[in-house]
Structure 1
Amino acid sequence: MPRYRYKVMDSTGSTREGILEADNPREAAARLKENNYFILNIETEKTPKGRGIRNILPPPRVSKSELGFFCRQLAVMLEAGIPLLSGLSALKKQLRNKRMALAIMNVHASLESGKSFSYSLGKHPEVFPRVLISMVEAGEKGGVLDRVLNRMAEYFQWEHHIRERIKSSITYPSMVLTAAVLAMVFIIIFVLPVFQGILQQIWDQLPFFTRLLLSISGALRNYWYLGIIFASTAVYFLFRLTHSTPEGRVFRDKAKLRIPIFGGLIQRIIISRFCYTLATLLNGGIPILDALEVVEGSVDNIIMEKGIQQIRISIREGMGMAVPMERTGVFPPLVVEMISIGEEVGAMGPMLEKVGEFYDREVEDMANRLSVILEPTLVVFVGVIVGLVLLSVLHPLFKIMGSVH
């Protein structure tokens, strides 16, 4: 979205300058006039010399830890009696993420024009997730905005913790696999050609695996550009297929849940996120149907999204939550049973928090087990593959040397 640098005068005669995101200059001027500003100058922000590449690249995404920091700091200021506008002004100066700082500046301008905090946040869905907007709206209506922001800070910190734990679990296996692939490519492209002249003299006597490796080596050295084009095209179309169509998304998300070892971990993460998010919304006073609509957009799995859609339809028709959850076949029996108890005793939010804590511990334990199991397994796997490749080349050479003697 284009950015416009403006200079305006407020009702007291003081001049102000800033940057505003808008689709066009007319929209930027209209938004400034909504704040009762007299426009002195407005122009498109120019790209500074030497920073063209930086401005071509998309701005950095807002992380969960940054959202947690924003909510926590703003809650502390509100609890201390600092007005919301002053708190946002102070926060804007502390943030290093330019996208978030610019969004807060626009939120500040929207608040000055008389709009609500939740409405102002909702104008920036690329920065502030829907769950935060819904909770802020409930906090504004109930007059407990500081409590809501504290709760959201804990929620975003939990999401950040889960993401970092999963990253740390897959970092080492990813490094080992990458090293294995690079080692294989190096051997096939640079090592095998050294022996190719000798081995081709006894081509008919070579094992099939050795001949296959020599053929692959020749193809990679002579037609490497075709391999890059083919691989890039395949990745592009696979990505489009699994992200652009509903059928592709269903196939992708089903495949994720069926991946050996990792499928169970992914399912537990989804269940944990569903329980924590729904508990946070219900404890914040959001109606169950509205809360489920927000959760539906945050689980990041179309199989779960369709299950939540069925639950919303059933609740709208007057049913409880546990029965339609069981019918979807998406949720484990433990979740269904705990939610059924929560409905009976009228403590859905606390019960969902307990289920979320249980699956959170499951994710932690499973991630730890995966790290312990995968590290030695991958090392052995890489050693076996590299050993087979070397043996397929060295074995025929040893036979030649033996026949000479």
Structure 2
Amino acid sequence: MADGSGITFQYKARDAKGTRQSGLIAGKDRAEATAALKAKGLFPIALEPEGNQATSSSFGGKIAKGGKKQLTAKQTADFLARLAKLAGRQITTERALAIIGEGGDDRISRTALEVRRALREGAPLSRALQSEAGIADPVTLSLIGGAEVSGDMDQALATAADILQSRLTVKRRIITGLMYPGILLTVALASLGLIMVAIIPQFRPLVEDRFDLVPPIGRAVFAVSQVLSTLWPVFLIAILLVSITAWLAARRGLLSGILTKLGAYIPFVRQMVLRNQMMLLLHVLGALLARDVTLSGALRVVSKSAPDGSVKSGMTSITQKVESGRALSSAFKEQKLLPREAIEMIRIGEEAGDLGGMITRTSDDMRDAADRDLERFLLVFQPALIVGVGLLIGVSLYALFSAIVSVNAISF
């Protein structure tokens, strides 16, 4: 029980041989109790106050939904990075926020002043960021919440900013890689539509009287051209509506989820997206474990931040299995979310007592593999797109002129 010397925690841990152990350990807070377990050669899986004693450093608990939505993902990463740099120079958090707030009249500066005001009213930084900056990411809030107890706020802010920046880098890399093919496809479809609507109908009077003599491919092209020529305003309005919907979804952060679900129907794209998602989650898991968060608490945080779908359900199942006594590598192996090489590295980390370090190294290896996957995809996709569009235009023109030649040949 809690006394003047600290709090008694109930723990579940594994030793270097993977044997599961449980018992009680005392510490003034969760960080100190975790350090005491590691000093005994144990890797903590779960660490909870005996008798449900409350501690302000609790990880993996419920995190309330964000309040104001003021900062975008990029602005949040920039804000936390700037705050980490100032905090690393032995400047108090309140003073660092004041310096950022005095920097201008942009959204980040205004948010910094709002967070500072909440701090001066007695709110902890994690709650102030949640209510005033609209930060609802469970990873960020858990890192900062733990630093409020351990005292290394600059490192926690830097880690949170790095994780957010990693997510943005992955999205930016995919968007940049697909931008050229997307522009090419748009221009090609527009050109093909112009040919169907404005050019091919002008040749129809030449074959109108002998349309039954036109080859099947020619009749198909003329039929498509007639439909497009009649309904082009409807298609144009539909394209505009889809474009506006996509723009609004992107503004609200929903577009990436929609594209991910659509890409799930393509095996190669599904594998590439899964590798990127798991790389980010392992990066988060490694960062949390490096900050003395218990494995159970870190997995709960990672599960909350996982994207909806098979990854989220898989991480939730892994969390439950680990909390029931299974080894992390064994739980990952059953879910088939990671390649065999990654699971082997996690197994080595469990046996060597450096699970956090090996998970971080696994994340780095998966990032390199994800970059190679994206490069291969673009190397194949871009030429294939060019060839496909060229074939569409070539077939349309071939069908058109073959129809004209066939009718003229019969006439003579």
Does the pair score TM above 0.5?
Answer: yes
- Structure-1 residue corresponding to 2:35: none
Judged with a 3 Å threshold, the aligned counterparts in structure 2 of structure 1 residues 252 and 166 are, in CA distance, closer, same or farther, namely: closer
Please say which of residues 177-186 and 325-334 is displaced more in the overlay.
325-334
Matched, 1:358 2:368: no
In structure 2, what is the equivalent of residue 244 of structure 1?
none
> What 5-or-longer segments of structure 1 have no aligned partner?
1-57, 239-249
- Cα deviation, residue 320, structure 1: 2.0
1:45-68 deviation line (CA, Å, top 9, x unaligned): xxxxxxxxxxxxx9886133x333
Letter in 2 for 1:305: K
What is the number of residues matched between the two proteins?
A: 336
Q: Note the alpha carbon deviations across 1:309-336, whole angstroms, 9 max, x for none.
A: 1111112222221222222233322222
Q: Are residues 1:63 and 2:63 paired?
A: no
State the match for 2:405 in structure 1: 398
Counterpart position of 1:290: 297
Counting aligned pairs with the same residue, the percent is: 21
Residue 334 of structure 2 aligns with which residue?
327
Alignment counterpart, residue 202 of structure 2, candidates 194, 208, 214: 194
Change in Cα spacing, 1:183 to 1:335, as seen in structure 2 (3 Å) is same
1:62/1:127 contact within 8 Å kept: no
Question: Structure 1 residues 178, 227: CA separation in 2 closer, same or farther (over 3 Å shift)?
Answer: closer
Following the alignment from structure 2 to structure 1, what is the Cα–Cα distance between the partners of residues 86 and 402? 73
Aligned-partner Cα distance in 2 for 1:61–1:199: 61
Corresponding residue of 1:179: 187
Task: For 1:208-287, list aligned pairs within 5 A.
Answer: 208-227=216-235, 256-287=263-294
Q: CA deviation at 1:404?
A: 4.4
- Alignment match, 2:12: none
C-alpha distance 189-95 of structure 1, shift in aligned 2 (>3 A): farther
Query: Structure 1 residues 251-260 or 144-153, which shifts more?
Result: 251-260
- State the Cα deviation string for residues 56-113 of structure 1 (Å, max 9, x = none): xx9886133x333222221221222222112112223447752x44443332221011
- 1:199 maps to a residue whose letter is V
Query: In 1, distance between residues paired with 2:240 and 2:383?
Result: 32
For residues 89 and 354 of structure 1, the distance between their equivalents in structure 2, rounded to whole angstroms, comes to: 37
CA displacement 1:253-282 (0-9 Å, x = unmatched): 676344143223212111211111111122
From the superposition, tell whether residues 300 and 125 of structure 1 become closer, same or farther in structure 2 (CA, over 3 Å): farther
TM-score relative to the length of structure 1: 0.74
Question: In the alignment, which of 386, 396, 401 is matched to residue 393 of structure 2?
Answer: 386
Aligned-residue CA RMSD (Å): 3.1
Which structure's relative contact order is higher, taking Cα pairs within 8 Å and 6+ residues apart?
2
Which whole-Å deviations, capped at 9, do the CAs of 1:285-342 have from their partners, x for residues lacking one? 3222232222223332410100111111112222221222222233322222222221
SS in 2 for 1:223: helix
Partner of 2:94: 85
CA spacing shift, 1:378–1:131, aligned 2, 3 Å: same
Give unpaired runs (5+ residues) of structure 2: 1-67, 247-256
Structure 2-normalised TM-score?
0.73
Task: Return closer, same or farther for 1:301/1:331 CA change in 2, 3 Å cut-off.
Answer: farther
CA distance in 1, matches of 2:147, 2:387: 55
